[in-house]
Amino acid sequence: MLRRIGLFAVLAAACVAPAHAELVIDVQGIAQPTPVAVVPFGWEGRTPEMPADVAEIISADLLRSGRFEPIGEDKMLQKPTDGADVDFQDWSFVGVEAVVVGKVVQTGENAYTLQFQLFDVFGRRQLVGYRMPASRGTMRGAAHRAADMIYEKLTGIKGVFGTRVAYVTARQQGDGRLYSLVVSDYDGFNEHTIMESEDPIMSPAWSPDSRQLAYVSFEGDKSSIFIQTLRTGNRFRVSSKPGINGAPSFSPDGRKLVVTLGGEEGNLDIHVLDINSRRTTRLTTHRAIDTEGTWSPDGRWIYFTSDRSGGPQVYRVPATGGTPERVTFEGSYNARPRLSPDGKRLATVFNDRGNFRIAVMDLERRDVLVLSGGRQDESPSFAPNSDILIYATRQGRNGVLESVSADGLIRQKMRSSAGGDVREPVWSPFPRY
């Protein structure tokens, strides 16, 4: 039942270190990424340079995906900015399979149009052409959106270049530690610390509309669950009962949280919290530790960790209440379940011969694939396209983030350039353009 992926079936290793970014990303791609060309974009505007180097952003996205290898500018025989000028013979000679050309046109003081075209070199045809408005502030986002469209045309998989990641960092500060809750673009840009505390912060969770994060904070030496709106920074405390308040996760409709409550007696159970009314419904009553609840994408089930059988295993219970049933049987330790957004796979923290690693189980075939190779890997979170997972691993004494494609072939390491311990990454849903 258990398959293992060769962790070093990797050839290319590229390092992308964007300026000002908190995260530095190393990509380990598949053996033969597809060569493509992203020609420098044309600029028609009132300033010497365009607000963001769109071609470079698209190139970096494609490179980071591990599936593509954008060629250098010096290898290009022509640098067209309009599809009409693309010479397929030249590009065929250079050996690329796809070409992206485009330009940015300034249409007002802070108004621009970004347009791009993607061509299949061998088929000699346009795969997609698109034009979209942007401002200085949204130019990076528009470039990511273009990369998403290009990636989807070429692979059939939705791109996640416009998504964000939330994570927690901890660093030494004087005698204590400073914990930060951070949100950044998936590529480490636009990093924002949205909450800081000398007490631990845990378990961030995205709302389905990407506008809010729920998390656990220990400020005042007790655990409480907060929901914070990213745009305004406003937050409200949704659960602060005696004992443990933990492990929040939003329902697919965004109206409820599944949470873990412990009470004075410390019996951790799964509860559903209605965010508006603050009413809670208890779903489990077992004396064991029941925690880490998460909704199935169809909203019907809540999957959770329970050690009612001895060690932690994944169970599920109908979201409206019912009898829990066990889901995982492979291995002595399966915790922190997360379902892929397409509902087909279940990721867990898995004990692999004494090492805690990220495993993914196909819910239909029920086979288990160990995807990570560390000793202390944790907090798996699926990208919204179900094709990539992000998780935390140890490097020396610090936590760093890694992502891996669901087939195990493409791996990225993200380490914090600011140092400190980075943990609990959670991938945002798709942005709503």
Partner 1 sequence: MSYFKLISIAALSFLLAGCPGTPEMPDPEPTDTTYGGDAGASTSGAGNDPYGGGEFFGEDLAGEVGNVIYFEFDSSEVRAQDQDIVAGHASMLNSNPGLRVRLEGHADERGSREYNIGLGERRSQSVRQMLMIQGVSASQIATVSFGEERPVAFGNSESDYSQNRRVEFVYPN
How many other CB atoms sit within 10 Å of the CB of residue 233? Answer: 10
Q: Which CB atom, from 124 or from 287, has the smaller least distance to partner 1?
A: 287
Residue 262 CB, nearest approach to partner 1 (Å): 6
- Least CB distance to partner 1 at residue 348 (A): 9
Q: How far apart are CA 322 and CA 245, in angstroms?
A: 22
Judged by CB, which is closer to partner 1: 289, or 370?
A: 289
With respect to partner 1, which residue has the nearer C-beta, 159 or 374?
374
**Quick one: 79 or 171, whose CB is closer to partner 1?**
171
- Looking at beta carbons only, is 46 or 397 nearer to partner 1? 397
Q: Write down the least CB distance from residue 199 to partner 1, Å.
A: 9
Which residues contact partner 1 by CB under 8 A?
Answer: 177, 200, 202-203, 218, 221-223, 243-244, 246-247, 260, 262, 264-268, 287-289, 291-292, 305, 307-308, 310-312, 332-333, 335-336, 349, 351, 354, 356, 375-376, 378-379, 394, 397, 423-424
Nearer to partner 1, 112 or 315 (CB): 315
> 3-state secondary structure string, the chain?
CEEECCCCCCCCEEEECCCCCCEEEEEECCCCCEEEEECCCEEECCCCCCCCCHHHHHHHHHHHCCCEEECCHHHCCCCCCCHHHCCHHHHHHHCCCEEEEEEEEEEECCEEEEEEEEEECCCCEEEEEEEEEECCCCHHHHHHHHHHHHHHHHHCCCCCCCCEEEEEEEEEECCEEEEEEEEEECCCCCCEEEEEECCCEEEEEECCCCCEEEEEECHHHCCEEEEEECCCCCEEEEECCCCCEEEEEECCCCCEEEEEECCCCCCCEEEEEECCCCCEEECCCCCCCEEEEEECCCCCEEEEEECCCCCCEEEEEECCCCCCEECCCCCCCEEEEEECCCCCEEEEEEEECCEEEEEEEECCCCCEEECCCCCECEEEEECCCCCEEEEEEEECCEEEEEEEECCCCCEEEEEECCCCEEEEEEECCCCCC
- Give the phi and the psi of residue 88 in degrees, each rounded to 5: -60, -30
Shortest distance, CB of residue 291 to partner 1, whole angstroms?
5
Least distance in Å: CB of 322 to partner 1?
Answer: 22
Give the nearer residue to partner 1 in terms of CB position, either 206 or 356: 356
In whole angstroms, the minimum distance from the beta carbon of 167 to partner 1 comes to: 13
- Least distance in angstroms from the C-beta of 22 to partner 1: 21
- Our CB check for partner 1 shows the closer of 92 and 376 to be 376
Name the minimum Å distance from CB 283 to partner 1. 16
**Which of 305, 403 has the CB closer to partner 1?**
305
Q: Provide, rounded to whole angstroms, the least separation between the CB of residue 244 and partner 1.
A: 6
